[in-house]
Structure 1
Amino acid sequence: TGISTVAAPVITGSGRVAAVVSVTVPAQKIEPERALSLAAQVRDAAAEIAVRLSHTAVGGLA
């Protein structure tokens, strides 16, 4: 029983953490290789969010 979580920070251009992306699943549902795959996907999502935040247009709309 229990849960497993993978998370990655969304880093701003100035190096600050703006947010965190995470995925939580039942521990018994995740194999080690699946955890590595999820971690890579979470890192990629956090990086994409950081890029999009850095390109926010005037007025806060991208």
Structure 2
Amino acid sequence: MAHEDQGTFLTVAEVAEIMRVSKMTVYRLLHSGELPAVRVGRSFRVHEKAVNDYLSSSYFQVG
């Protein structure tokens, strides 16, 4: 079976660090569906592409 690089899954704490927000903010984004995630047991994993896509779509023009 060939291994293809599918990217990295991040923990909630890692996502919070990348986004420079609290873990609770990340949980709110997950529960509202704004940030897609995979549930593994009782924890969540977020694909790094989903984080990048979310941040890219969050830019807006000021002024």
TM over 0.5: no
The structure that has the greater radius of gyration is: 1
